[in-house]
Amino acid sequence: MIDMRIQKVTDDISIQRSVDNGTEEQRKIVLEILESVRREGDRALLAYTETFDGIKLDRMRVSEEEIHEAIQSFDPKLLKVLEEAAKNIRRFHEKQRRETWITQDENGTILGQKFTSLDSVGVYVPGGTAAYPSSVLMNVLPAKVAGVKRIVMVSPPDQNGKLPAGVLAAAHIAGVEEIWKVGGAQAIAALAYGTESIQPVDKIVGPGNIYVALAKREVFGKVDIDMIAGPSEIAVLADDTALPHEVAADLLSQAEHDPRATSVLVTTSRTLAEETAREVEKQLEQLPRKEIAKQSIDEYGVIYLAPTMEKAIEVVNQIAPEHLEIVARNALELVPMIRHAGAIFVGRFSSEPVGDYFAGPNHVLPTNGTARFSSPLNVDEFIKKSSIIYYSETSFRQNAEKIAAFARLEGLEAHARAIESRLKKPVRPE
């Protein structure tokens, strides 16, 4: 029996959960793995793969034959779905590209910003019992659009030494040319430090278990990372026009991810609140991942009843959810009032899985309230920005005294003298 909580809005509302930083024992294991891979390279990778994944590999790199075999064995209809999804994702991210810009003032000074793609990126794709082709597309394609030349994918093999056909098919569609059968903290170590076979990368993206997350934390600084993602979350902002069975289905779509996933309904309608609670209980019984979803709803599922839509929106902004659905009258008109949300799904037919898989926007989103200051994975994550400064002589002489004074204000005499040295008449050696 489950009874999704219905409670009135209060001033102190949050869906933040304690971040899983792992145990001290888990961190110790990760540090040992990182150091072992740093010291022993490929030998350590093969040993850990045998220990953790139960397979002794002859070679770690996925061959062209394996990719071809995976594509041939994959359902042709699903292959077309992946191709169309990839097309949508690529098209959306192409709109995020920015070009280097330059300005010149009347004194001849040139200022600008140069955009340069990262040289290399590592993409971690989780393994285990599930396959995540969508994770491949969402992490690889923004990097491709950004212009990253080398993209390395790592993923743990199954007990037959294989990667899921769907994952390999997605990698092929996305244009990944370097794929390795290695997972866990050891894969993160290989991407960060390099081994005899795997060259290091500049940035690591992609989700993983607690050992992967801890490893990413430890190597940050040696390489860049995307984020440490928490459990998934959804908030549905709805009025009395929403249909309870649809709202319940959307809430459960996140609850089935993880026992710590959060599903929230914020509504002005008591009728919708009560009927949605009943629908959640009813639909839950039919789910294959019932036990996971039940724990999630029991511990983190809640329905907030707000007196007005304005107050409901205030609650949503306070929560700052990863996914936000707006199912209400004039839903589009409410969007400008939303300040904090990873992705905003507007209208009845914009169910969260539309964005997860197919529409085009990235499904790698800020969780645990971090949408207050973070953005979805995007092309900018794979680009560096360099400032360009060309000061003309005219501008220099106009401003030299001010710059030197500013330097002395901070007690940096050598800075001031570097400026003033250019005001003196140059003495050329004869």
**What angle in degrees, to the nearest 10, is found between the helix axes of 133-146 and 165-174?**
10
Q: Give residue-wise pLDDT tens across range 105-148.
A: 999 999 999 999 999 999 999 986 667 999 999 999 999 999 99
Is it true that domain 24-225 has CATH number 3.40.50.1980?
yes
Residue intervals in the chain for CATH 3.40.50.1980:
5-19+230-359, 24-225
- Which CATH number is associated with domain 5-19+230-359? 3.40.50.1980
User: Could you give the CA distance from residue 37 to residue 46 in angstroms, rounded to a whole number?
Assistant: 10
> Is 322 labeled as catalytic in the residue annotation?
yes
- Known active-site residue 430: no
Residue tagged active-site, from 322, 325, 352, 381: 322
pLDDT digit string, tens, across residues 350-394: 999 999 999 999 999 999 999 999 999 999 999 999 999 999 999
Q: Give the span between the Cα atoms of 176 and 24, in whole angstroms.
A: 36
pTM of the predicted structure, to 2 decimals: 0.92
Give the active site residue among 93, 172, 257, 323.
323
What is the model's pLDDT at position 230? 79
Q: Which segments of the chain have a pLDDT < 70?
A: 1-3, 11-12, 16-21, 128-130, 427-430
Give the residues across from 237 on adjacent strands. 266, 326
The pLDDT assigned to 44 comes to 97
